[in-house]
Every structure is written in structure tokens, then in C-alpha cells.
Amino acid sequence: MLRWIPDWILYSLALSVVLWAIFSSPPDDAPEPPPEAVKKEGAMLPPASAFDERVLVQVTKPKSGIGTAFAINQSGQWLTARHVVDGCDRVALLVAPDQYVQAQRVIVSDHFDLALIETGSSPYPVNLNTTTDLRIGTYGYHVGYPQGRPGEAASRLMARSTLISSGRRNGKEQILTWAETGRTRGLTGSLGGLSGGPVYDDLGRVRGVIVAESPRRGRIYTASPETVRAFIEAQDIDLLGKRPRPFSPESYGAEADYARRNLQVVKVACGVKEDS
């Protein structure tokens, strides 16, 4: 036989269930949980390993296009990705609206997706830091010309990976994997054109060169500090960077504009003859 229960108790229980269901469910616009690797925030970035994820890219025949480069000293030397300028008949940097400066010399790496562009001057160089003191979860700010227009993306460092190139060039090199967390308002789809651009840390120091992306997975890949350092040392380049300006998730858009406006980060134009 069931005991009689007052109506007010039943109503209270029902209301409690409803409130629990409402407040225990995540909101529809809640961000996706961070990748498992980013959950290890604060751990030092481990050294390269044979178990690192492999990223496969196909290097095709050179064609005219747009990329990004950034100044590393005041002697007219700019760092970019090799695939931005490799095989180009003409390379030029955009220094003002509709005003390009022709490259005097272009040096491409035989081992890494890195290249050096030389011009007459580079007045506002980055503060390039190639140490390996990076930690998982570190914020990165990628600046350049995605889709040929000024733009930027924010990310967090996930892990090391290995870039495997095949086709016109075959090779293997260490890279860093960043999980994208934000980008320029209105910028959708591929970040193509951002290649060769810098990734800044919170202190405004450049920690790598953008070499690839995976739009489907929301990943941005940059040359590792070790490969950038090896390339710089092989060219016997003197680095001279300005005092860095801090970046943050709230300010990176304005700081990216500042870097482009002061010609710290520039657009690269590659010209290829039709019969090349």
C-alpha cells in the first residue's frame, strides 16, 4: 500500500528534476573541449620522437601565388617558407599599396621548408627566438596574408610532428603542431597565403615559420625552433630584432595590424613564367 504524499512535495521534486536537466547540460554555443594534448598545459615540449604524428604534403610544380615573409634584421633579410618562393622566376615584397620591391636574391634550404629573401632594407625586424623552452598549451599568433589579404589566427601549441614532403621535393623535417582557437573576423576556409609568416608568442617573440595547415582538423604547422636555428646559422645571418610587443587573445588582431603596417610582416608575390 502506497503512503499518501502531499502534492507540494511532488511538485518540488518535479521542479528539481527540470532545473537539474537545464543547468547540467552544456550551452549550445559552448566551445569544443581542447585537444587532449593541450590539456597537458604547462608541460615542456618534448624532444622529437619516432612516434610523432606524420604530416604528409605533396610538393607540386611552382606556380604564381602569394605568401608571407618577415624581417629578421635591418640588412634587408626576410625569412619565409621555401614553398612560397621555390621555383619562382620573380619574387617581390609588397611595401606599400600597389608598390612592390623586387628581391635581389633568394636562398632556399635544401633540407627544410625555409627560405631567405634579400632586399635593400628591412627597417622593423622581429625578435626571433629559436630556443626550445616552449610548453604545451602556449598561445601562438600567426600573422600574414591568408588568401592574399591581411589576416591572422590564434592557436595553442599541441605537440611536435614530422613533415613528410613528396613530389617535386622529397624530405622529412621536424615541425610544431598548433590547434587553431580563433582567427580574423570573416576569414573562413583555407589560410593559404599565410605560409612563410611568423608565429608570435605572448611576449611578442617569433617562435617559428608557418609551413602548412590542415583546415579540416583546424591545425597550423610551423618549422621547429631547431630547424629555424640551423638554417639561420648556415647562412651566417646576424639577427637584430626590435623590442617585442606583447600579444594576447584580445589584442592579437591589433598587434598583427601593427606588424604589417610597420613592414615587419609583408606580402610575398611569386611570379612564374607559363612555360616554366
Q: CA of 241: how far to CAs of 15, 88, 264, in Å?
A: 63, 28, 10
* Residue segments in the chain with a per-residue pLDDT below the cut of 50: 1-5, 7-11, 13-15, 17-33, 37, 276
Are the C-beta atoms of 47 and 224 separated by less than 8 Å? no
Query: For position 38, what pLDDT does the model report?
Result: 54
Note the pTM of the prediction, 2 decimals. 0.84
Instruction: Find where cell 547540467 sits.
Output: 24
Q: Residue 274, Cβ neighbours under 10 Å: how many?
A: 6
**Where does 38-271 sit in CATH, by number?**
2.40.10.120
Which grid coordinates belong to 132? Answer: 626550445
Query: For position 241, what pLDDT does the model report?
Result: 77
Query: For position 59, what pLDDT does the model report?
Result: 82
Query: For position 62, what pLDDT does the model report?
Result: 78
Query: For position 240, what pLDDT does the model report?
Result: 77
Q: CA of 2: how far to CAs of 5, 10, 228, in Å?
A: 9, 14, 77
CA nearest to 184, candidates 137, 138, 218, 145: 145
**pLDDT tens profile 6-24:** 544 444 544 454 444 434 4
Query: For position 229, what pLDDT does the model report?
Result: 95
- The set of long-range contacts for 34-39, using a CB threshold of 8 Å and a minimum separation of 24, is 34/156, 34/179, 35/158, 35/179, 37/136, 37/158, 37/159, 37/179, 38/136, 38/137, 38/156, 38/157, 38/158, 38/179
Query: For position 256, what pLDDT does the model report?
Result: 98
Query: For position 15, what pLDDT does the model report?
Result: 47
- Measured CA to CA, the distance from residue 70 to residue 268 in angstroms comes to 10
Query: For position 140, what pLDDT does the model report?
Result: 98
Q: Where are the domains of the chain?
A: 38-271
